[in-house]
Chains A and B, each alone.
Chain A
């Protein structure tokens, strides 16, 4: 089966159309209009999931790359959308998360944050999908901005003091990172005369080493701060715990992973030599990110703050996969990269489930404080919620048979195979500390007893719509652990396609008629 390349535009167009029409549909603000917006969002996310599965089938199972030339302009001149296995995997995970988050919002959203939540969510989806499909640096920048703009508004939708403060930090630091990204695009265009990724991959080979180091370094800074890497992560814990739980859940599952995707894409396609040369740097960043995240999680005291810090430590594992991309002794080349991709898959599912469960607990109890007597008693009151939280938490910590165990095992194998003892040790240590942190969440937050004089009893019930998406995600996570060979095969396909640069360049086929602009003007 060969599907038309025009399908590549669908993941961008579907959310855009539905977002615009749901903004138009809700002329007045009341509950009925909110319901219309929600139904439109549900339809859009299900359609999007269908298209994503179609692309997944074509790129991963049939092992192809799909290229769409917008307006049939040839590659370096027009806008090019490219989907390979990694893009399709990310698109599918995003689509799954989107469906579950719309369901979750039914159970948890109140009027205050529910206004225009769904159109913004669809704009976010459009930006994320576009970033996964973008075939050139500038469109990557534009889609980054689309998703950031939607996320800015989503973050401060409630207008509460904490949200405004968190939103300010988030906006300023992300705008700075985007500007660094744009600067890089300007430098690249000024020196190499192209922005198309495949075209750049050709021209970057002939470029002087200084230029390559500057461009790679600036991209590492720009994407690294979006992904929450070691010295640049501070915007994340400052803002992620403030918005509505549904917003935190989708942010934690999606946003940092777009930065990680961009790192994977750019480093494997444009700088394969630097991937080798900078291995100590990347592994160092990975280790420090893991440690910083997990130690930060120990120091904070509300459920979602702890979980936000764990996003950082998990991002470290993904970069570890990227760092191990070029090394392979007995294992196949690209095993490290495949392990990293599998880790992304596992993390997106489990992290969203955890943030959903933690957020539901916070909403119900009216507080997220992990002090003695604030939370607690959730096991008896909401056994099902506590159950899914338990499974998700231990999947994050890497207990078999969950997906966390398999993904951590893969990374550890890759590290030991290429004899990077240091990063292997750090990843094991962080894994143990994560388990400790999860046990703390469980003991202080879910088990134990709530003191009657601290807070009144739960403010609102937990609906089935709140629980259903969490259960779906937890089941997916367990499935990824039990049937891990299928998912590992998919990640291996994605990694092989990333390493096969010539195949990517050939698929996009940029025509090279204009020589690079000379630098002496």
Chain B
């Protein structure tokens, strides 16, 4: 019974995730990815629900006779923990990328230069791109200043 509930839950989550992933809106896509990873976490969790209510350790080692229904399997929980951390990190990075993209939307020529990342960038575009890099400009500036000045005759 509990397995059926889990299976239904995973199926519903995956279906909604797929629907969201197919949207054009990137924010919905990210939410869809989050749902998808959670659906998979639940699926892995579902592999350890068979002996509910038991502790994840062997309580009485002397009386243990190899009957695995005396304890619940702790491994899926460890796996999920790892998977949650990984997917959390990636979704966080994805959101950062999206934020970056939105701040670049102001640059009109954004899309037609996808072809050629080394094309000369117009000054306006550079400004918009580089607002996060002000500290870097300082570094470059200091380097420029350190160069010996050319004297004109």
Classify chain A's interface size. 35 or more
Check A179/B40 contact, CB under 8 A, given A156-B97, A521-B3.
Answer: yes
- Counting residue pairs across A and B whose Cβ atoms lie within 8 Å, the total is 144
Measured in the bound complex, the distance between the Cα atoms of B29 and A362 in whole Å is 33
A221 at the interface (CB under 8 A from B): no
Q: Which residues of A contact B33 (CB under 8 A)?
A: 172, 175-176, 179
Contact A301 B40 (CB under 8 A): no
Residues of B within 8 A of A (CB): 2-3, 21, 26, 29, 33, 36-37, 40, 43-44, 46-47, 49-50, 66, 68, 73, 75-76, 79, 82-83, 86-87, 89-90, 93-94, 97-98, 100-101, 104, 107, 110-111, 113-120, 125, 129, 132-133, 135-136, 139-140, 143
Contacts of A295 in B (CB 8 A): none
Q: Give Cα A152–Cα B139 distance, bound, in whole angstroms.
A: 26
Q: Which of B26, B36, B93, B118 contacts A153 (CB 8 A)?
A: B93
- Measured CA separation A158–B101 after assembly (Å): 13
CB distance from B49 to the nearest CB of A (A): 8
Q: B113 touches which one: A162, A185, A243, A305 (CB < 8 A)?
A: A162
Chain B at the A interface: SS class:
helix
- The docked-state distance in angstroms from the alpha carbon of A368 to that of B83 is 40
B89 CB, nearest partner CB in chain A, Å:
7
Given contacts A168-B26, A241-B115, 9 further A-B contacts (CB under 8 A): A111-B140, A161-B125, A163-B117, A164-B100, A166-B114, A182-B40, A183-B43, A302-B116, A366-B119
Q: Is the CB of A161 within 8 A of B110?
A: yes
From A148, A171, A186, A363, give the contact of B40 (CB < 8 A).
A186
Report the separation of the CA atoms of residues A164 and B47 in the bound assembly, to the nearest whole angstrom: 38
Task: Verify B139–A30 contact, CB threshold 8 A.
Answer: yes
Contact A171 B107 (CB under 8 A): no
Q: Which residues of B contact A178 (CB under 8 A)?
A: 86
Q: Say how far B136's CB is from chain A's closest CB, in angstroms.
A: 6
Nearest opposing residue in chain A for B68, CB measure: A514
A29 and B136 within 8 A (CB): yes
In this complex, the member of A112, A142, A182 whose beta carbon has the largest number of chain B beta carbons within 10 angstroms is: A182
- A331 within 8 A of partner (CB): no
A171 and B136 contacting across the interface, CB-CB below 8 Å: no
Q: Which of B21, B44, B107, B133 contacts A185 (CB 8 A)?
A: B44
**Bound complex: CA of A163 vs CA of B116, how far in Å?**
10
Contact, CB under 8 Å: A138 / B89? no
Is A186 touching B44 in the complex (CB atoms < 8 A)?
yes
